[in-house]
Amino acid sequence: MASLRWVSWIMIAHLFVLTFVYPDSSSDSNKLKEIPKKFLQFAKEPELFDWMVGIRRRIHENPELGYEEFETSKLIRTELDKLGISYKYPVANTGVIGYIGSGQPPFVAIRADMDALAMQELVEWEHKSKVPGKMHACGHDAHVAMVLGAAKIIQKHSEELKGTVVLVFQPAEEGGGGAKKIIEAGVLDNVNAIFGLHVAHYIPLGEVAGRPGPMLAGSGAFEAVIRGKGGHAAIPQHSIDPIVAASNVIVSLQHLVSREADPLDSPVVTVAKFQGGGALNVIPDSVAIGGTFRAFLKSSLIQLKQRIKEVITGQAAVHRCNGTVDFFEIEIPLFPPTVNDNELHEHFQNVAGDMLGIDKVKDMKPVMGSEDFSFYQEMIPGYFFFLGMNNETLGQLDSAHSPYFRINEDALPYGAALHASLATRYLLELPSQVTFPDEKRHDEL
C-alpha cells in the first residue's frame, strides 16, 4: 500500500508540473515546428527574394579572390547598416562578423564564404563576371546572399530570439584557410554551435542532404621540384634525367595508397601537375610536379604528408637527382576533415524536415572534397550540409569549379530560411548557458 501511495504522489506531482510549470508546452512545440515554414514563406516574398537576387548578381559581376574581398565586404557592411545590425570589421583581413539579438549567450553562428576563383567565366548572360580571369564558380556569391537574407528574416523576427545569432562572412575559403584566421581572431570563442551550407548542382531544388560524422575529407597540397642535369636527348649518359626520376616518384606516390594505407580509410594522393622541358631533343635541368592528398582522419593526413616528402626526396636521390617539397603551409594550410556533430545532425533533420518534409531531407555518403568549415568544427560543434538547386526546366547544371557553373536563384529562399530557422530554433531549444565566475569565458562576444 505504501508503494501505491508513492506512485500516486508521483503522478500528482507530474500532473502539477505539466499543468502549472509547463502549461503551454504542447503549444510551444507547435510554434517551434511552424518557424521553418513561416520563415520560408517570408523568404519567398518578392521583396526579399528580389533583394537577395540583386545582391547575388552584384557580387557575381565583381568577383574577388581570397583576402581581396574588399568590395564584397563593403557591400555586406552597407546592407547590415541598412538593417540596423551591428558588426565587427575587419576580421581576418576582409571578414565581417555581425550580431543579431541580445548580445548575450547562448550564441549560434551561421557562415558564408565570400571569395571567387581565378578562372574565366564562359557563361554568357547579363550579369557575367566583369573581371577577366575571375569568377564565382563555387556559389559563394549565393552563400553571401543567403546569409544576408537570413539576417533580414531573423532581424524581422528578433523578438523570438533567446540569445544571439552571429553572422560570419568569411574570406578565402578556396585554399586560403580563411576559417582558420577567423578562429584565430577569437571572435567565435563563446559560440555554442555553427552552421554552414553549400549549393549542390545535382540535388533537386527543395531538397537538402547531410550526414552525421565525417562528411568531407581533410586535404593538403604539395609541389615538388626535382633537379637533375640537362643535356642533349641523344646522349643521355651525359645528363641526369629529372623526367625519369619524376615519373618514378609519381608511381611510388600511388603506393602510399595501395600498399601503406588502410583501405577503409579511403585516402587519395593525386599528382595533377607535371611540368618539365620545352624541346623534343633536350633533357631539362628540372621538373616540377604537384598535387593534392586527402583523408578522412587527420592522423592519416599527417602521415601522408610525411611520407610524400620522404618518397619524393628518396626517389629523386635514387635517380641521382635532388628533390625538394613545398606544402604551402602558410598559403594553403592543411584542412582538417569536415565532421558533423551528431546532435546538430538531429537538429538539422528536425528543422529541415519541418520546412521541407522529412522525405526531402536526404542522407549522403562522405565525399572526398574538402571545406575549410572544418576549422570551425575543430573548435565548435558544427554542421555543414548541401542545398539542392537542380531544376530540370533549367537544363543540366554544371558542377562547381566549372567555367560554365550557374546558380539556380530559386534556391536562395531555401538557404536563407534554413539558416534563419536552424539558428533561431537552436537558441529557443537550447537551455541558457550558465557561466561561473571562475570560468575563463565572457558573457558576450
Residue 321 in marked binding region? no
**How far, in Å, CA of 102 to CA of 324, rounded?**
53
Nearest to 111 by CA among 318, 401, 382, 430: 382
- Residue 399 is predicted with a pLDDT of 96
Query: If you write DSSP's letter for every residue of 259-278 in order, what string do you get?
Result: IIS-GGG--EEEEEEEE--S
- Reported pTM: 0.88
- Residue 29 is predicted with a pLDDT of 81
- Residue 26 is predicted with a pLDDT of 65
Cell of 386: 548541401
**How far, in Å, CA of 227 to CA of 245, rounded?**
9
Residue 174 in marked binding region? yes
**How far, in Å, CA of 214 to CA of 338, rounded?**
6
Beta strands 213-216; 338-340: pairing state: antiparallel
- Residue 444 is predicted with a pLDDT of 57
- Number of CB atoms found within 10 A of residue 353's CB: 16
Task: Order across the sheet with 286-295: list the strands.
Answer: 268-275, 286-295, 218-227, 322-326
**How far, in Å, CA of 313 to CA of 325, rounded?**
8
- Residue 213 is predicted with a pLDDT of 96
- Residue 329 is predicted with a pLDDT of 86
Nearest to 215 by CA among 357, 336, 35: 336
Residue 401 in marked binding region? yes
Q: Tell me if residue 427 falls in helix, strand or coil.
A: helix
Task: Delineate the domains of the chain, giving CATH numbers in brackets.
Answer: 27-214+337-429 (3.40.630.10), 218-326 (3.30.70.360)
- Residue 14 is predicted with a pLDDT of 44
Residue 140 in marked binding region? yes
Which residues does the chain have with pLDDT short of 50?
A: 1-23, 432-442
- Residue 445 is predicted with a pLDDT of 62
- Residue 265 is predicted with a pLDDT of 86
Residue 79 in marked binding region? no
φ, ψ for residue 353, nearest 5 deg: -65, -40
Contact assessment for residue 269 and residue 244, using Cβ atoms and an 8 Å cutoff: no
- Residue 435 is predicted with a pLDDT of 41
pLDDT digits (tens, 9 = 90+) for 305-332: 999 999 999 999 999 999 999 999 888 8
